[in-house]
Amino acid sequence: MRIVPPIRPIRDGKILDVNLINHIIQRTEYGAELLARYKMVAGLNIFVEQAGNGLGVSYLTALAGGAGNPVQSGSAGTGNGGAGTGTGGAGTGTGGAGTPKPATQPYRIAGTYGLGGRNRIFIYDGSTYTDIYFGNDKQILGVGWKIGISGLNLVGSYLFNGDVTSFFYNGLIETEFRVPNSRRTDAFDIDGSNICGSYNPQTGRGEGFFYNGSTYTDLIFPPNFSTLAYGVDGSNVVGSYLSGSFRGFLYNGSTFTDIFVPGSSSTLAHGIDGSNIVGRYALNGVTRGFLYNGSTFVDIFVPGSSLTSAYGIIGSNIVGYYTLNGVNRGFLYNGTTYTDIFVPGSSNTVAFGID
């Protein structure tokens, strides 16, 4: 287990020279990914090239001759460029440093695990579990309260001084936030600057919320049901509402659509990526995960488990947790294979989000 060492905040407008980039890479667990993911450009025509294994930085290099778009490691540019096809400088197009092309990054999975009777947050990159801990006085909530991940940012909820409140963590600083005039706020997911969750007003039933970085919008499944907003992708939000039993929903910014697994006694929608939605449903007393593409439900169930619940999705990759011999364990499912996710030494591990 490795705790990410902090670095000093970098003020806006600071030139990212090679020395500063190397400092970031050496001092942070995810420095290489941060640079590649957000395409930080240092000085004039300096960029970070991703290693061929997708897990780090192979080298820093200067682009020759005011080139166009730099490309991923091992790829040649196209158009008028010496590194690509034809003649001249590297990259696509001509003139200026250009905008780097997207590079495929290793997925990062966020969740909670039990250690010493307390819940802690982990981030897993496929090889290393990294611990995120805010101290003994802030009790991270467990199963049922998601940890959302987007880039380097995390959201979730903890118990502090007898109250449950939400937190935002940018990899360096953890900040509390709460829906104005609420008794309690639970943040469940984040996508870019958009956050969704649920809160309890001073009076009345629980309501969902969508927060775009400046404005809170209430989400209440019509006509007036208690609503939980669990997952966000752009302006689309999924969650569940209580109408005798739990039923899932999709909200596209203007319209609510009901989501319910046929024959189930309850359905909860937890995560969304594009047109794909994941969650869980109860059937004959057994909780099972599902993948829904807008027309068809596909069963998600870890073989041999007594319970499986899907919480997060990106592309064809789904994360969640399953119960085996009374112990909760996380999983990653790529459409064909279930991979176990379990923090070494923990009493339980639950995977909630993937990015």
- The tens-digit pLDDT sequence of the chain (355 residues) is 444 444 455 555 555 555 555 555 554 545 555 554 444 443 333 344 444 444 444 333 333 333 232 223 333 333 333 333 333 333 333 333 333 333 344 789 999 999 988 899 999 998 899 999 888 888 888 777 899 999 999 999 998 888 888 999 998 899 999 898 888 899 999 999 999 999 988 666 689 999 998 899 999 999 988 999 999 999 999 999 999 899 999 999 999 999 999 999 999 999 999 999 999 999 999 999 999 999 999 999 999 999 999 999 999 999 999 999 999 999 999 999 999 999 999 999 999 999 9
Beta bridge partners, 339, equal 332
d(CA 354, CA 232): 12
pLDDT reported for residue 183: 86
State which fold the 109-354 domain adopts: Methylamine Dehydrogenase; Chain H (2.130.10)
pTM of whole model > 0.85? no
The amino acid at 316: S
Burial profile 310-325: b = 16 or more Cβ within 10 angstroms, e = fewer: bbbbbeebbbbbbbee
Phi, psi of 35 (to 5 degrees): -65, -45
323: helix, coil or strand? strand
The amino acid at 1: M
* Neighbouring residues of 10: CB distance < 8 A, sequence distance ≥ 6: 16, 20
Residue 341 to residues 48, 144, 186: CA-CA distances in angstroms? 30, 18, 25
The candidate with the shortest Cα–Cα distance to 335, out of 352, 349, 314, is: 314
Phi, psi of 34 (to 5 degrees): -60, -45
Reported residue count of the chain is 355
pLDDT reported for residue 197: 95
Do 154 and 352 form a contact (C-beta atoms < 8 A)? no
Domain-by-domain residue ranges, the chain? 1-106, 109-354
